Amino acid sequence: MGCGVYLARHGETAYNHEGRFQGQQQIPLNDTGRAQAGELAERAAGYNFRALWCSPLLRARETADIVARRIGLQPVEDARLMETDAGDWTDRTFADVRGEAPELFDAFAAAQPGFAFPGGESFAQQEVRVGAALEEIERHELPALVVCHGMAIRAAFAVRGAVRFERLPNAALVPLDPLEASRAELGGGAATMPS
């Protein structure tokens, strides 16, 4: 456990379950997501985290609060950890967008570096803000747990030069170090598309 920063994806929401873009909306966890957050909290208890950071979006904050009660840390919110702004795709289902713009949807699904949400944020823009947040987190107490989002985790690995991106389960816990991440037992539910 030599990694200084660990990333956790929030628990499941209704939007995750339905395959719908939630972007930066304040979507709560569903019952499954709350249970996943409880399981994440139990896994996190074994790491002796000294700091807990999170996105201010409701699904991440709720997950962080459940973890916080178990590990005795107060979550520190950082807006730079928020999910990508999904722009015109916000609230739309994956199937609807795929039917309307298959090539663009495929670029999103493959996490292509040049992808940008129509009317929203690009992956490159997100990487700048997530990278800045990680630099600040690493200046504080470590090891740190960062509860955020699927695409924010993609951005974190892109910033660190790890080109391969895997879809992560909701409530997965992954070390930011790419080598450690490749060997980690992530936990969480089934891998789902970030949204």
Residue ranges per structural domain of the chain: 5-18+27-85+121-183
Work out the angle at residue 35's Cα, subtended by the Cα atoms of residues 193 and 72, and round it to the nearest 5 degrees: 110
Burial 147-176 (b: 16+ CB within 10 A, else e): bbbbbbbbbbbbbeebeebebbbbbbbbbb
- C-alpha 140/C-alpha 153 separation (Å) is 19
Q: What are phi and psi of 120, to 5 degrees?
A: -130, -140
Q: In this predicted structure, what is the pLDDT of residue 15? A: 96
Mean pLDDT for 110-124 is: 94
Q: In this predicted structure, what is the pLDDT of residue 80? A: 98
Q: Which residues are catalytic?
A: 10, 83
- C-alpha 175/C-alpha 187 separation (Å) is 12
Confidence (pTM): 0.92
Helix axes 58-71 and 31-44, enclosed angle (nearest 10): 40
CATH architecture of 5-18+27-85+121-183: 3-Layer(aba) Sandwich (3.40)
Return mean pLDDT, the chain.
91
Query: In this structure, which amino acid lies at residue 72?
Result: G
- Digit-coded pLDDT (tens) for 150-193: 999 999 999 987 655 567 899 999 999 877 776 766 676 665 66
Mean pLDDT for 40-52 is: 97
Q: In this predicted structure, what is the pLDDT of residue 24? A: 97
Q: In the β-sheet with 173-175, what is the strand arrangement from edge to edge?
A: 76-77, 51-54, 144-148, 5-9, 173-175
Q: In this predicted structure, what is the pLDDT of residue 113? A: 85
Mean pLDDT for 109-129 is: 94
